[in-house]
Amino acid sequence: MVELRTVPEGLDRAAERAGAGFTFVADDGIEDEWSFARLAKRAREVAVAMVERGMSKGDRVALILPSAVDFIPAFLGVQQGGGVPVPLYPPMGLGQLGGYLDHAQHIVGASKSSHVITTGQIRAVIGKVREAVPTVKGMLTVADLEGDASLFRDPGLDLEDPCFLQFTSGSTARPKGVVITHGNLAHNCHAIMTHGLETDDEDRGLSWLPLFHDMGLIGFVLAPIHHRVPITFLSPLMFLKKPATWLTYLSQHRGTITYGPNFAYAIATKRVRNEEIAGIDLSKVRIAGCGAEPIQAETLRAFVRRFGDYGFREEALVPSYGMAEHTLAISFARGIPTDRVLAEDLWGDGNAVPVGEQQDDVEVLEIVGCGRAFPGHRIRIVDNETRVSLADRQVGEIELDGPSVTAGYFEDGAATEASRSTDGWLRTGDLGYLVDGQVFICGRAKDVIIINGKNYYPQDLEWAAAEVEGIRPGNVLAFPTRQEGLDREAVVVVAETRDAHNSAPLAAAVKKKIYDLLGLMVDEVVVAEVGTILKTSSGKLQRGKTRAAYETGSLGPRRGEGAVKVAGRLVQSQLAHLKLSIFK
């Protein structure tokens, strides 16, 4: 029998464990170690301060706090007082402020937040949000949250109460607030830590993921609290500036659990130098999760080859699938389980026909498996039109059922209804297929490109383009568009590079690579500067908006962004909300 707890109950239980709880590493390397007991006390101080400032049970409170050592106690404190935290990513720079204010105003307004907790610096530039959202009673800083913990009064939360609102990244529409209850969270944390990662008292996690996104927040704050697992936190920018820090701190802190999206493994493989990691030992790492974006088998294999001499093992890899509407995690696999299928049949008929290792004379796609549904949860594949369940190896839309499926979107009945099948299963909008219960992800249903009656998944075009030397992996988009004179939609690929002066030969190489691998001649390849492709707050590529910018002639780099700033925006974004999809 699973013992389910609210987050405050979980924190109280965690406080009984002696020793380290959360360790915060500043960008200058100084470490600040908090026990779970210290964290619980600070949360109650915040709770008392918020109640004194008018927060009532069920009130939403927006959090815009870049630092983990500020964010985590504030998030937990709002919950301790009965409030419902609403995490927002912080502004990335003055050049992006106009769009950011619109985004922040939308989320604060849509959530009907009663308060905003942020830093003094951020408060100075987003004051208009308070003026524009009538529900906001005050904009507070961490310095305002000094309550007396002895005055704390339990608000009486139960598993049906909202735990927090996780706003979707808005890659296809305006962000919507997913209502995650304490029960949803407790079930998903149990699935993650017990069934997925099989944690024990010897485990210690390390994360540089943004905490305003579900993979960082649930995977490395809330689930570890529920299961009393110590965690070390680095900042996202620390990883981006020097990817070797991810590995060196894993070694120094004897970390056993860590996570990152596909692009993080690619960056570490390419940018970490031997002299930066001399003497490190990665043999203690037993879980190295990967999610939040399409997973490429060769990226993971390259990471294993690069760091195998330092003790890293392939069996530590955990390809993962998840989404906010399922709280976080949907399924985990181990190692690099792949399915090699005939490209022609997958694209043309939606059938995943397996290919033998020796069949080198056919077009083959290699798709990474993401594991099976957790106990008490279910995954099925349905036909996109008839909604009838499909057999193994038939591609359709992935649907989900179980206690991790959330109640829906905050005060948005129409969107909630549209996300459910007639029998109540969650419609993910993802394309995939099952093999003996293991799920394989092909792409997003609405993104399929149809040329001459044949289906192409844009992710396949993007992966092919990313294999060209000079093209930035994870920064490629493919989409269809109307072009005068064609009796079909044209196919355009936008690919970023740091070698823009070499754009013509790169474009030709991308066209050839896609044709060689997929048999499709794309109509145009736009080789663009870093920062051209539009992204959501979580760093997911915005296909629709990038396509619209291309069609209106406004596609171009966001000026004034140096390499470090672009990288910083990428992670505070790309990992920001990350759907670890854990995962998207």
Residue pLDDT, tens place only, 465-484: 988 999 998 899 999 887 76
CA 579 to chain centre: 4
Whole-angstrom distance, CA of residue 518 vs CA of residue 526: 19
Among the candidates 157, 192, 207, a domain finishes at: 157
Boundaries of domain holding 107: 35-157
High-pLDDT (> 70) share of the chain, %:
91
Give me the number of domains the chain comprises.
Answer: 2
Residue-level pLDDT at 180: 98
**Contact by Cβ (8 Å): 167, 176:** yes
Written in H, E and C, the secondary structure of 172-210 is CCCCCEEEEEHHHHHHHHHHHHHHHCCCCCCCCEEECCC
Phi then psi for residue 304, to 5 deg, are: -65, -45
Residue-level pLDDT at 20: 86
Whole-angstrom distance, CA of residue 506 vs CA of residue 573: 27
Does residue 336 fall inside a structural domain? no
Q: Give the chain's largest Cα–Cα span.
A: 74
Does residue 292 fall inside a structural domain? no
**Helices 458-466 + 503-518 axis angle, to 10:** 130
**Model confidence over 394-439: pLDDT tens digits?**
999 999 999 999 999 999 999 999 999 999 999 999 999 999 999 9
Phi then psi for residue 560, to 5 deg, are: 80, 15
Indicate if the pLDDT at residue 337 is higher than 60: yes
Task: Specify the residue for token string 């109540």.
Answer: 424
Among the candidates 115, 131, 157, a domain finishes at: 157
Q: What is the mean predicted confidence (pLDDT) over 295-312? A: 95
Does residue 14 fall inside a structural domain? no
Does residue 317 fall inside a structural domain? no
**Model confidence over 244-284: pLDDT tens digits?**
999 999 999 999 999 999 889 989 999 999 999 999 999 99
Which SS3 state, helix, strand or coil, does residue 115 take? strand
More confident residue, 576 or 330: 330
Q: How many CA atoms lie within 13 A of 499 on its CB side?
A: 11
Two structure tokens written together for 251: 């070694």
Residues in the chain: 584
User: Which range (25-39, 368-382, 453-467) has the least confidence?
Assistant: 453-467
Indicate if the pLDDT at residue 453 is higher than 70: no
Among the candidates 157, 173, 206, a domain finishes at: 157
Whole-angstrom distance, CA of residue 207 vs CA of residue 235: 8
Does residue 331 fall inside a structural domain? no
Residue-level pLDDT at 1: 64
Amino acid letter, residue 135:
T
Does residue 145 fall inside a structural domain? yes
What's 88's domain CATH number?
Answer: 3.40.50.980
Residue-level pLDDT at 173: 57
Does residue 80 fall inside a structural domain? yes
Instruction: State the first-to-last Cα distance of the chain, in angstroms, to the nearest integer.
Output: 30
Amino acid letter, residue 394:
Q
Q: In which region does residue 424 sit, left (phi positive, over 0), alpha (psi from -120 to 50) or beta (all else)?
A: left
Indicate if the pLDDT at residue 298 is higher than 50: yes
Q: What is the mean predicted confidence (pLDDT) over 40-50? A: 98
Q: What is the mean predicted confidence (pLDDT) over 432-455? A: 85
Query: Which residues are CB-contacts of 85 (< 8 A; sequence separation ≥ 6)?
Result: 60, 61, 63, 74, 75, 78, 79, 164, 165
**Model confidence over 188-199: pLDDT tens digits?**
999 999 999 999
Two structure tokens written together for 25: 């590493």
Whole-angstrom distance, CA of residue 57 vs CA of residue 54: 10
Whole-angstrom distance, CA of residue 569 vs CA of residue 240: 10
Two structure tokens written together for 402: 């179980």
Residue-level pLDDT at 221: 98
Indicate if the pLDDT at residue 374 is higher than 50: yes
Does residue 62 fall inside a structural domain? yes
Indicate if the pLDDT at residue 450 is higher than 80: no
Whole-angstrom distance, CA of residue 388 vs CA of residue 308: 45
By C-alpha distance, which of 547, 567, 536, 562 is closest to 494? 547
DSSP string of 95-112? GGHHHHHHHHHHHHHHHT
Residue-level pLDDT at 167: 92
**Model confidence over 490-535: pLDDT tens digits?**
899 999 998 888 889 999 999 999 988 888 899 999 999 988 998 8
What's 553's domain CATH number?
Answer: 3.30.300.30
Residue-level pLDDT at 293: 79
Amino acid letter, residue 347:
W
Whole-angstrom distance, CA of residue 113 vs CA of residue 135: 6
Residue-level pLDDT at 361: 63
pTM equals 0.84
**Contact by Cβ (8 Å): 437, 422:** no
Whole-angstrom distance, CA of residue 23 vs CA of residue 2: 29
User: Which range (75-79, 127-131, 426-430) has the least confidence?
Assistant: 127-131
Question: For the chain, what is the mean pLDDT?
Answer: 89
**Model confidence over 540-575: pLDDT tens digits?**
788 878 888 888 888 877 433 333 333 333 343 333
Residue-level pLDDT at 290: 96
High-pLDDT (> 90) share of the chain, %:
69
Written in H, E and C, the secondary structure of 394-459 is ECEEEEEECCCCCCCECCCHHHHHHCECCCCCEEEEEEEEEECCEEEEEEEHHHCEEECCEEECHH
